[in-house]
C-alpha cells in the first residue's frame, strides 16, 4: 500500500508540474515529426481492368515540420494558429501506383485544456493546405505533376525559359480543406501531439472514387511562453 501511495503521489506531482496556459498569454511551439498519409477509395475496380492489379491503396510515411502559435483566451481555452509542411498521398503494395503531394498547411483550431494544470489538450478546427509539389506514379512510371519547363520565343526572336502548368497538374486540386482533430500532452514545455487530418477536398478533379486525403501526424515540439 505504501508503494502504491508513493506512485500516486508521484503521478499527481507530474500532473501539477505540467505547464498550464495563462489567460491573455501568447505561446509559440516549433515542432517536427512524421506523417502517415493515406487516401480514401480505390485506384480502380480490378474486374474492370485488364490484367491483375493490386487496387487497394496503402499509407505512405514521411516527415512533417511546422510551428504553432497559441493565444490563451482563458486559463483552459486557447485559439491556435499554425504553419506546417507535410506530405500526403497513397500507394499500392505492388509499387505500380503512387500519389505523393507536399502541402503547406495553415490550421486554425480551438484548444481546450480539460484538466487544470495537467498539460492535456484537445484540439479541433479547420485547415487549408496549398499543394507545393506533386508527383504521380502510374504503371511504374514517374510523372511530374507540377510546372513543366519550356522554351518560348519572344516577339524579338529571343529564346527564354519559362515554366507552364502541365496538363497533368491541372487534374489535381491545388487547395485541400481538412478538419484537424488532435490530442497533445505537455510536460515541462515539451509537447507531444497526435493529430488526424480528415480531408474534405477531392485529390483529383475528375475522380469517380472521389478520393480524399486522410493523414495522421505525430510531432514533438517545445513551447515558448511569449507573455501577454
SS3 of residue 16 by DSSP: helix
Q: Which of 44, 166, 30 is nearest to 85 (CA)?
A: 30
| Beta-bridge mates of residue 177 | 128
What's residue 58's pLDDT?
Answer: 85
Ranges assigned E (strand) in 75-139: 77-92, 97-112, 120-138
On the CB side of 116, CA atoms within 13 Å amount to 4
User: 222, 191 in Cβ contact below 8 A?
Assistant: yes
- Residues 57-75: pLDDT tens digits? 789 999 999 999 999 998 8
What's residue 1's pLDDT?
Answer: 47
Given a cut of 50, the residues of the chain with pLDDT beneath it are 1-17, 45-49, 51
Q: Tell whether the torsion through CA atoms of 197, 200, 205 and 206 is positive or negative.
A: positive
What is the rounded CA–CA span in Å between residue 131 and residue 21? 33
Q: Which of 91, 96, 87 is nearest to 57 (CA)?
A: 91
Q: Which of 109, 16, 96 is nearest to 53 (CA)?
A: 96
Q: Tell whether the torsion through CA atoms of 94, 218, 182 and 108 is positive or negative.
A: negative
- Residues 171-188: pLDDT tens digits? 888 899 999 999 999 998
What is the rounded CA–CA span in Å between residue 99 and residue 196? 19
Amino acid at each position: 500500500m505504501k508503494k502504491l501511495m508513493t506512485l500516486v503521489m508521484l503521478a499527481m506531482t507530474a500532473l501539477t508540474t505540467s505547464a498550464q496556459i495563462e489567460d491573455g498569454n501568447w505561446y509559440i511551439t516549433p515542432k517536427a515529426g512524421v506523417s502517415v498519409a493515406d487516401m480514401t477509395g480505390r485506384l480502380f475496380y480490378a474486374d474492370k481492368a485488364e490484367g491483375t492489379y493490386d487496387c487497394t491503396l496503402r499509407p505512405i510515411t514521411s516527415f512533417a515540420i511546422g510551428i504553432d502559435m497559441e493565444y490563451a483566451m482563458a486559463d483552459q481555452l486557447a485559439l491556435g494558429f499554425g504553419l506546417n509542411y507535410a506530405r500526403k498521398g497513397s500507394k499500392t503494395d505492388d509499387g505500380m501506383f503512387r500519389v505523393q503531394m507536399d502541402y503547406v498547411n495553415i490550421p486554425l483550431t480551438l484548444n481546450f485544456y480539460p484538466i487544470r494544470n495537467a498539460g492535456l489538450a484537445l484540439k479541433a478546427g479547420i485547415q487549408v493546405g496549398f499543394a507545393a509539389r506533386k508527383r504521380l506514379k502510374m504503371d511504374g512510371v514517374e510523372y511530374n505533376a507540377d510546372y513543366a519547363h519550356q522554351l518560348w520565343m519572344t516577339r524579338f526572336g529571343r529564346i527564354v525559359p519559362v515554366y507552364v502548368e502541365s496538363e497533368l497538374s491541372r487534374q489535381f486540386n491545388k487547395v485541400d480543406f481538412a478538419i484537424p482533430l488532435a490530442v497533445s500532452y505537455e510536460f515541462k514545455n515539451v509537447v507531444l501531439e497526435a493529430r488526424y487530418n480528415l480531408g474534405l477536398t477531392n485529390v483529383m478533379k475528375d475522380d469517380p472514387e472521389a478520393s480524399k486525403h486522410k493523414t495522421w501526424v505525430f510531432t514533438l515540439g517545445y513551447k515558448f511562453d511569449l507573455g501577454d
